[in-house]
Amino acid sequence: QVEDLQKKLLEKDELLKSAELSKNQINDVRAELGKLKRDAAVKDSLIKSIQLQLSDAKIKLADKQAALEKTQWEAMTSKQKVEELQNNIDSMQGEFSSFMLLLNGLTKNNPTTHADDYDLEPYPLDPLPCMDDVNDEELQKMEEARQAYVAAVAATKEKQDEESLAAAASARFHVLLNVSCSKLSDLSLKHSAQAH
C-alpha cells in the first residue's frame, strides 16, 4: 500500500509539473500574443499616419495644380490683354499718322507756320478748302492738343494699362474736337462773308 501511495504521489507530482509547464507555456503564448497586438497597434498607427500624410500631400498637390492652372490662365489673359493694348496702340498710331497728315496740310496752306515746327515728313495731301483760313490761335490749340496726344500715346506704349489707354483716347478726342471746331469756325466765317 505504501508503494501504491508513493506511486500515486509521484503521478500527482508529474501532473502538477505538467500543469505548471502548460501554465507557463500559456503565459508565454499570452505574452507573445500581447506583443503581437502591440506591434499590430503600432503598425496600424503608422499606417494611419502615412494615410494622413498621403491625404495632406494630395491636398497640397491639388492646391499646387490649381495655382499652376491659375498662373497659366493669368499668363494667357495677360498676353491677350497685351495684344489687345498693342492693337489699340497700333490703331491710335494710324489715327495719329492721319492727324500728322492733316497738320502737314495746314502748314502747307498757312505761310506763317513752318512744317519743321511739327517735325513732320512731307506727305502728298490734297488741299483742305474748308480749313484754309485757320488762324494762328486755332493752330496753337491744335498743336497743344497734338503734343498732349503724342505724350499720351508714348505713355500708353510704356505702361500698357487701361489708365494710359483712356488718357490717350481722351487726348485724341481733344485733337478731333479742335479740328472740328476749326472746321465749324471756318464754315461760319465763309457763310458770313457770303452773306455780306
Q: Is residue 9 part of a domain?
A: no
Q: Is residue 64 part of a domain?
A: no
Q: Is residue 180 part of a domain?
A: yes
Q: Is residue 60 part of a domain?
A: no
Q: Is residue 121 part of a domain?
A: yes
Q: Is residue 61 part of a domain?
A: no
- CA-based torsion, 53, 56, 60, 65: positive or negative: positive
Query: 2-109 and 162-195 are packed helices; what angle lies between their axes, rounded to 10 degrees?
Result: 20
Per residue, what are the HEC states of the chain?
Answer: CHHHHHHHHHHHHHHHHHHHHHHHHHHHHHHHHHHHHHHHHHHHHHHHHHHHHHHHHHHHHHHHHHHHHHHHHHHHHHHHHHHHHHHHHHHHHHHHHHHHHHHHHHHHHCCCCCHHHHCCCCCCCCCCHHHCCCCHHHHHHHHHHHHHHHHHHHHHHHHCCHHHHHHHHHHHHHHHHHHHHHHHHHHHHHHHHHHC
Q: Is residue 26 part of a domain?
A: no
Query: 162-195 and 136-159 are packed helices; what angle lies between their axes, rounded to 10 degrees?
Result: 160
Residue range 43-73, pLDDT digits in tens: 999 999 999 999 999 999 999 989 988 888 8
Range of the domain at 122: 80-195
Q: Is the pTM of this model over 0.75?
A: no
Q: Is residue 92 part of a domain?
A: yes
Domains identified in the chain, total number: 1
Give the pLDDT of the chain (196 residues) as one tens digit per residue.
Answer: 677 777 888 888 888 888 888 898 999 999 999 999 999 999 999 999 999 999 999 999 999 989 988 888 888 887 887 787 777 777 777 776 766 666 566 555 544 444 344 343 333 333 333 444 445 676 677 778 778 878 877 777 777 666 767 777 777 777 666 655 554 444 444 444 444 4
